[in-house]
Structure 1
Amino acid sequence: MKYWLVKTEPDECSIDDIGKAGDKGMVWDGVRNYQARNFLRDMNVGDHVFIYHSSCAKVGIVGLAEVIEEAFVDPLQFEPNSPYFDAKSTHEAPRWSAIKLRFIRKFSGVLTLQQLKQLPTLADNPLVQKGSRLSVVPFAKAEYQAVLKQLT
């Protein structure tokens, strides 16, 4: 099993939205950064994913989900009216991927970026590095466990 964090704006895809999707899960799409896309392609069914709300009043880790469908072609890249449309992407050579997530749990509070920066175990994680803006971040097992310990 691998561990990840995905950043999402709660008005687009919140932990509550993932929870409401039930066992069928929710598509997590719209990634338009090659490194983040490559991380999506490294995800496997059963991997755990922290959900991190950004661009909102309470920014930070809010819940946990699991990958239930590995990377597939993100259909939004072909939709001209989508903000995620990519005119250079073709059906023969699609550029972008999406995954499907299923809700595991919502945490009782938000673990903020400031709190995450204070965890020595996360000192080398890209999430806490200045200037890091990736929407998908890998976590080592020890990092994952350190975050869970803060939330339970």
Structure 2
Amino acid sequence: MAYWLVKSEPDVWSFEQQSKKGAKGEAWTGVRNHTAKLNLMKMKKGDRAFFYHSNIGKEVVGVVEVAREHYPDPTAKAGDPWVVVDFKAVEPLPKPVTLEAIKQEPKLKDMALIKLSRLSVQPVTADEWKLVCKMGGLK
């Protein structure tokens, strides 16, 4: 299993809204960055991702799972190369993990969230995953 982090502005699409979509999940539309698109294309069904509220909150608030692998983004113009994956909510973090807390943890100094702060879809290592889960109160 691979691990990821996906960002969404909570006033546009929140973890609560994602959770209401149930087991079918929802397409992660609107990605318009080539590197983020390539990351979506690497995702496999069953991979997990942190759901990160950007701009407002700046914190990891939940875990989602890839329910369907990449396919053309229905919100893109015809012929554009953009893709989506479907995510379903797994669980909220009992304690959201803030960007500030991540920056203060020396073991997370190389995390893409810090190094590639503007990238909306990014990889997370297994060690980073375990540590952020622990920080957020997940076992």
- Normalised by the length of structure 2, the TM-score is 0.93
Task: Report the Cα offset of residue 128 of structure 1.
Answer: 1.1
Q: 1:100 aligns with which of 63, 83, 86?
A: 86
State the partner residue of 1:146: 131
Give structure 1 regions of 4+ aligned residues with deviation exceeding 4 angstroms.
Answer: none
1:74 partnered with 2:73: yes
Map Cα deviations across residues 38-58 of structure 1 (whole Å, 9 max, x no partner): 0000000000100000121x2
Match of 1:81 in 2: none
Percent of residue pairs identical: 39
1:4–1:138 Cα contact (<8 Å) kept: yes
Mapping for residues 7-18 of structure 1, pairs under 5 Å: 7-18=7-18
Q: TM-score, normalised by structure 1?
A: 0.85
Query: How far apart are the structure 1 equivalents of 2:95 and 2:136?
Result: 8
Please give the alpha-carbon distance, in whole angstroms, between the structure 2 residues aligned to 1:103 and 1:132.
23
Q: How many angstroms does 1:108 deviate by?
A: 2.7
Q: Which amino acid aligns with 2:30?
A: G
* SS of structure 2 residue aligned to 1:37: helix
Residue 82 of structure 1 corresponds to none
Residue type matched to 2:74 in 1? Answer: P
Gaps of 5+ in 2: none
> Aligned-pair distance for 1:137?
1.1
> Aligned with 1:51: secondary structure?
strand
Larger radius of gyration: 1
Residue in 2 that maps onto 1:55:
55
The letter of the residue matching 1:60 is E
Residue 148 of structure 1 and its aligned partner are, at CA, apart by 0.5
Query: Match of 2:18, as an amino acid?
Result: I
> Which ranges of structure 1 fall in alignment gaps of 5 or more residues?
79-88
The RMSD of aligned alpha carbons is: 1.2
Give the number of equivalent residue pairs.
Answer: 137
